[in-house]
Amino acid sequence: MTTLSLLAQHVNRRPQRIALLEQIAVQGSITRAAKAAGMSYKAAWDAIDELNNLADQPLVARSVGGKGGGGARLTPAGERLLQLHHRLQAIQAEVLQAVDDDADLQVLGRLMLRTSARNQLSGRVRAIKPQAGNDLIDIELPGGTSIQAQITRSSTQHLQLQAGAPLMVLIKAGWLKLSAAGETADTSLNELLGHIEQIQPEADGPSEVRIALHNGQTLCAQATAEHLAHHGLVVGSPVRAQFAASHVLLGTQV
């Protein structure tokens, strides 16, 4: 099964995401598409980031700012996703007509989980390196960027990981350590490079920092205003996001 097919199943369970994609195709504007889909502007951006991160290539191409809050259009991959969604809807209708017991649907529902991790990235296993009682999973993200995850040997077996296997990488926003790209990096940590796309201040906590990575994916981090000022990080700044291999959570399709 391709990544796009798996993603089509994912958005099929999130109808508002599909509505947003359909409206982007019609409206050509994130602001107007969000309104038409019944979403806030911020929720629309978050949804687009998640979909782009889960796909092998971006589904939505965006331009920040400008009239209407920024333009947007579906990429060819995004258009194919909509086509797959419509096919899945037809198949789903046939399956539901064939279900005799509501308990069957409840079982399916328990297998379709959501996660609280703010960052969800698609990737593939490049190599598995034994490390004492654990395994170090070498992961390739779209564009060739690589990171590592440290998990137990039993987790490797439970997830049935092997070289080439697709997986989902989960990283909590609070686990990301931000610094200016020109500063000395901690070589013991994973790093992802990009630039700050947006800083959303919060009245009762750290700011939400949206980072556009060089490979087209997006990260969401948290940082205090003091931390950002200390490192000279503002919108447009090149930035390094670092995190421990033990803070990388992995998921696979059941």
Give the pLDDT confidence score for residue 62 in this predicted structure: 77
- Worst-scoring range by mean pLDDT, 55-59, 142-146, 214-218, 221-225? 55-59
188-239 tens-digit pLDDT = 999 999 999 999 988 888 999 999 998 888 899 999 999 999 999 999 999 9
SS3 content of the chain, % helix, strand, coil (to 5): 40, 35, 25
Average pLDDT over residues 166-195: 93
Q: How far, CA to CA in Å, does 78 sit from each of 55, 106, 112, 158, 177?
A: 9, 30, 22, 32, 32
Which residues, in sequence order, are bridge partners of residue 10?
Answer: none
Q: Is residue 146 within 8 Å of residue 200, measured between CB atoms?
A: no
CA distance 161 to 58: 25
Whole-number pLDDT of residue 217: 87
pLDDT at residue number 112: 47
**Residue 33: C-alpha distances to residues 80, 198, 216 (Å):** 19, 20, 21
Task: Report the interhelical angle of 41-54 vs 15-27 (nearest 10°).
Answer: 100
CB neighbours (10 Å) of residue 146?
A: 14
**Residue 163: strand, helix, or coil:** coil
Backbone angles phi, psi at 154, to 5 degrees: -65, -35
